[in-house]
Chains A and B, each alone.
Chain A
Amino acid sequence: MSLGIAFGAVIAGIVVWAMLVRKLSGRPWETNSAVVELGTYRQSEIPAAKIGLWTFLAVITSLFGLFISAYYMRMTHGHSALDSHTDWSSIPKPTVLWLNTAFLMGSSVAMQWARHAASQGNTRVMRSSLAIGGLLTLAFLLGQLAAWSQVHDSLCFSLRNPAVAFFYVLTAVHGAHLLGGIFVWGRTLQRIGNQRTALESRLTVELCSVYWHYLLLVWLVLFGLLLST
C-alpha cells in the first residue's frame, strides 16, 4: 500500500511539475511591450471564492490525511503494557453508520440537484432541494451521535483502546466540518429567502455542493477505514 501511495505521489508530482514548467517559463525581463497579457486572466476567470474553497479543501485533505496516517501508525506502533502485542482492539461497527452514510449520500445528491436547479434558474426547486440536503445532513449528524452512543454502550468501550479513541476523534472532526457547512447552508437559505434569485445564488449553491461532495468523499474514506480495521 505504501508503495502504491509513493507511486501515486511521484506521478502527481510529475504532473504538477510539468504544469508549473509550462506556467513559469516566462522571461519577464525580455517582454518588451506586452501591455496586458491576456493569458494571465485565464485563471483569473475562476471566482475568488471558488479558489478559496478549493484551497480550503486542500487543507482539509492534509488534516484528514494526517489523521489517517496517525491511525495506521498507532495501530502498528502501540503495545500493551503487559506484553509486546498491540493494544489495538477493533470496535463493533454500529449498524447505524450505514444509514448515516445513506443520509449523507442523499444530502450530496440533493445539493447537486440544487446546483442544477440554480443553473436552470429554477428558484423553487433550488430552495427545496437545498433545504432537503441540509436536513439530511442534520439527520447524518444525529445518526453519528447515535453511533457514539452505541460504541459507548458496547463491551469494548475504553478510552485507553485507541480504536475507540480514533472512532470518536475522526467522526467528531468530520462532523465539525459538516457543522461549518450547515452554518453556510443556513446563511444561503436565508439569503435566498430574502431577495436573491437563483442566478445570483448560483455560485454559493455551487460551492455548497462541492463542499458537500468532498465531505461525503472524506466520510466514505473514513468509513472504509473503520470497516477494514
Chain B
Amino acid sequence: MVAVPIADRDTEHVLHEPHSFVTKYIWSQDHKVIAIQYGVTAIAIGLVALVLSVLMRLQLGFPHAFSLIAPHDYYQYITMHGMIMVIYLLTALFLGGFGNYLIPLMCGARDMVFPYMNMLSYWVYLLAVLVLVAGFFIPGGPTGAGWTLYPPQAISAGTPGASWGILCMLASLAIFIVAFTMGGLNYVTTILQARCRGMTLMRMPLSVWGIFMATVLGLLAFPALFVSAIMMGLDALVGTSFFMPAMSSMGQPAVHNGGSPLLFQHLFWFFGHPEVYIVALPAFGIVSDLLSTHARRNIFGYRMMVWAILAIGCLSFVVWAHHMYVSGMNPYFGFFFAVTTLIIAVPTAIKVYNWVLTLWHGDIHLTVPMLFAIGFIFTFVNGGLTGLFLGNVTVDVPLSATYFVVAHFHMVMGVSPILVVFGAIYHWYPKITGRMFNETLGKVHFWLTFLGTYAIYLPMHYLGILGVPRRYYAYSNGIDFIPRSVQEVNAAITISAVFVAIVQLVFLFNVIWSLFKGPKADPNPWHATTLEWQTPDTPPKHGNWGPTLPVVYRWAYDYSVPGAPQDFIPQNVPPDDRIPAGREHGLKS
C-alpha cells in the first residue's frame, strides 16, 4: 500500500474551520490555540512557583520576620517550586507551548497530524496541574520531600504531606506523562511526516530540531518517572516494598521490608538528567534562530549544530548517576559517569562557539529578543562552567549539599531557559497576537531581570564554597563554620529575588497591555526567513496557509546573502537571476 505524502494530499484536505466560541477557543483542535492554552496555563502555574520562591527567600533572608512560614511550609515550598518550574512550566511551555505553535508553522503544515489527540494532550495537562494544585488544599498540604521525592523520606511519617500530598504529586506526574506522550507523538510525527514540499530535514530551522530531539528524549525518559511514580504510589498506598527499606518509625517497625531507595534514585535520574536537555534543547534551538535573525547572519555551522543536538540527546542518557555521587557507588561507575559528563560538554561547547561566531561580524540589532538571547549565552556559559566542577566526583562530594549546587542549577536550568522563554515570547509576539509589544518596557524588563538574577545567583556560589548547606530552613542555631556575614548576603539575595519577582509584572503588563493597545504588527517585523513569518494572515488563521501550502527552496538562514536585494531571503522564495542561493558565512561560490 502506497500512501501519498501529506503535503501532496493538500488539495483533498477540507478545512473544517470552527465557528462556535467553544470549538474555537476551548475544545480547540487548532495547534495555535492549543499552544496558547499550554502557554497561559504554564505561565500561570509558574507564577505560583515564583511566589513560593519569594516566600522561601523571605524566610532565608529575614529568618525571624515572617512567622507565617513554618519549617514544614518551607519544605513544601521547596518541593512545589522545583517540580512546578521544571516540569509544569518549562517542559510544558517549551514543548506544549512553543512546540505546538512553531512546529506546523515552521514546517509548512496546516496543523498537527493528530489534532484531536493534541487537544486531549492539553486538557490532560490541565488536569495534571489541577491535581498538583489540589495538594495545597488537602489535609497535611502538599509533599515536602524535596523535588526529587527520594524515598524513604517522601512517604515516611514526619515528612510534610507524607500521606496525601505525595499521592497528589505522584498522580499529577503520572497524568502529566500521559499528556506529554499524547503531545509528543504529535510533535514527532508532524515533523517527520507533515513537512511541506522542499522542507528537507536539513532545511529545518534549529528551533524545530531542538524541539524534535527534546520530544524524543521526553518520550523515552518520562517512562522512568512513570515507573517510579507507580511503584512509589504502591509503596505508599498498599504497603509494597519496592523502594521502602525496613525501618523503625516511632520505635515501631514499619510495614515495609527490604526495598531499595537507590533503585528509585536510578529511575528518577534516568528521567531527571534527560529532563535537563528536554528543557535545554528547545532553548538551544530557539536561541540559535533568535541570534541568526537579529544578527542578520546565517547560523554558524548549521550542520554541526544539528549533530550537536543529536549528540547531546544521546549522551544525556548515559550521565544520570552524576546526580548520585553522594549516594555512594562503585568508584569505577563514578569514573564512568564523570567521563561521560565531561564528554557532553564537547557538543555543548560547540554550540556556544557557534552562537558566538554567528554574532561575529554580524549586523547586530539589539532588539528585545536579541538582548535576551545574548543574556542567555552569558548565563549558560556561567552555569555550564560550574557544571564542569560538579561533574567531577571529588569536587562534587564536598559541594553537593551546598548552595553551589543551587547556584549552578539555577543559572543553567533556571535563568538560562527562562531568558530564552522571554526572548521567544517577545520574538513571536507580533505573529501570535498581530500586535507589537512596547520595546522600552521590554528592554527595562530585560536589564532588570538579567542583572537582578545575577545579583541573586552569583553570591550563592560563594555561599556554597563557604560550605553553607542548602535545604536548611534557618541557620541560627550555632553552625560555627558559617560566618555571620552569610546572613547579610542572604538578606541581599532575598532583596534581589523580591525585586526580580516584581519586575516580572512589567512583562505581564507589557504582554497584556500590548494585546489591546499595541500598534498593529508587520507580518514579518524582524525580516526573518523562516516560514512562520510568511503566512498570508497575521496572526495565522485556521489552516495557516490559505488555499495552498508553501514550497521551500532554501535553508532557514539566508541572511545578508551577497547580491540579494534584501538582507534576508525567505525560505519560500525560489532562486532566480536576482535572488541567489546563500552560502555559509556569507561567501558565494
Chain B residues within 8 Å of A26, by CB = 200-203, 303
Within the assembled complex, what's the spacing in Å between the Cα atoms of A160 and B242? 8
Within the assembled complex, what's the spacing in Å between the Cα atoms of A202 and B185? 22
Q: Measured between C-beta atoms, what is the minimum distance from A221 to chain B in Å?
A: 16
Chain B residues within 8 Å of A58, by CB = 219-220
Asked if A37 CB lies within 8 Å of chain B CBs, one says: yes
A37 touches B303 (CB 8 A): no
Residue in contact with A31 in the complex, picked from B226, B231, B581, CB distance below 8 Å: B581
A35 touches B198 (CB 8 A): yes
Binds A, one of B429-437, B537-545, B551-559: B551-559
A66 touches B267 (CB 8 A): yes
Q: Which of B239-286 contact A (CB under 8 A)?
A: 239-242, 245-246, 253, 255-260, 262-263, 266-267, 270
Chain B residues within 8 Å of A116, by CB = none
Asked if A78 CB lies within 8 Å of chain B CBs, one says: yes
Asked if A2 CB lies within 8 Å of chain B CBs, one says: no
Q: Which of A183-225 contact B (CB under 8 A)?
A: 202-203
A87 touches B219 (CB 8 A): no
B201 touches A24 (CB 8 A): yes
Q: Which of A73-109 contact B (CB under 8 A)?
A: 73-74, 77-81, 86-87
Chain B residues within 8 Å of A63, by CB = 223, 226-227
Chain A residues within 8 Å of B190, by CB = 48
Within the assembled complex, what's the spacing in Å between the Cα atoms of A55 and B186? 10
Given contacts A62-B223, A73-B260, A81-B258, contact A28 B551 (CB under 8 A): no
Within the assembled complex, what's the spacing in Å between the Cα atoms of A48 and B109? 13
Residue in contact with B557 in the complex, picked from A29, A30, A32, CB distance below 8 Å: A29
Within the assembled complex, what's the spacing in Å between the Cα atoms of A13 and B318? 13
Given contacts A33-B575, A45-B3, A46-B3, contact A87 B198 (CB under 8 A): no
Residue in contact with B306 in the complex, picked from A24, A43, A52, A66, CB distance below 8 Å: A24
Residue among B193, B246, B555, B574 facing the most chain A CB atoms (10 A cut-off): B193
A78 touches B258 (CB 8 A): yes
Given contacts A56-B185, A160-B255, A162-B241, contact A73 B266 (CB under 8 A): yes
Chain A residues within 8 Å of B259, by CB = 74, 78, 162
A77 touches B575 (CB 8 A): no
A162 touches B258 (CB 8 A): yes
Chain B residues within 8 Å of A165, by CB = 234, 240-242
A32 touches B307 (CB 8 A): no
Chain A residues within 8 Å of B162, by CB = none
Asked if B4 CB lies within 8 Å of chain A CBs, one says: yes
B263 touches A77 (CB 8 A): yes
B257 touches A70 (CB 8 A): no
Asked if B5 CB lies within 8 Å of chain A CBs, one says: yes
B302 touches A48 (CB 8 A): no
Asked if B238 CB lies within 8 Å of chain A CBs, one says: yes
Asked if B6 CB lies within 8 Å of chain A CBs, one says: yes
Given contacts A32-B575, A59-B181, A78-B259, contact A66 B8 (CB under 8 A): no
B298 touches A47 (CB 8 A): no
Given contacts A24-B303, A203-B1, contact A78 B241 (CB under 8 A): yes
Chain A residues within 8 Å of B257, by CB = 80-81, 87, 160
A87 touches B241 (CB 8 A): yes
Chain B residues within 8 Å of A43, by CB = 192-193
1/0 contact trace for B571-589 toward A, CB 8 Å?
0001100001111100001
Chain A residues within 8 Å of B298, by CB = 29
B113 touches A74 (CB 8 A): no
Closest to B260 in A: A77
Asked if B195 CB lies within 8 Å of chain A CBs, one says: yes
Residue among B200, B553, B581, B582 facing the most chain A CB atoms (10 A cut-off): B200
Asked if B324 CB lies within 8 Å of chain A CBs, one says: no
A-B interface, 9 closest residue pairs, ranked by CB to CB distance from nearest: A81-B246, A28-B555, A87-B258, A26-B202, A44-B5, A63-B223, A78-B258, A77-B260, A165-B240
A26-B201, A55-B219, A73-B266 given; 9 more Cβ-contact pairs under 8 Å: A13-B314, A24-B310, A25-B303, A26-B202, A29-B582, A35-B551, A59-B184, A59-B223, A160-B256
What are 21 A-B pairs at a CB distance below 8 A?
A: A24-B201, A24-B306, A29-B583, A31-B555, A33-B575, A36-B197, A39-B200, A41-B5, A46-B193, A48-B194, A51-B193, A52-B189, A56-B185, A62-B219, A62-B223, A62-B224, A63-B226, A73-B266, A74-B242, A160-B241, A203-B1
Hey, which bits of chain A sit against chain B, CB under 8 A? 13, 20, 23-37, 39-41, 43-48, 51-52, 55-56, 58-59, 62-63, 66-67, 70, 73-74, 77-81, 86-87, 119, 159-160, 162, 165, 169, 173, 202-203
Hey, which bits of chain B sit against chain A, CB under 8 A? 1-8, 113-114, 181, 184-186, 188-190, 192-195, 197-203, 219-221, 223-224, 226-227, 230-231, 234, 238-242, 245-246, 253, 255-260, 262-263, 266-267, 270, 298, 302-303, 306-307, 310, 314, 551, 553-555, 557-558, 574-575, 580-584, 589
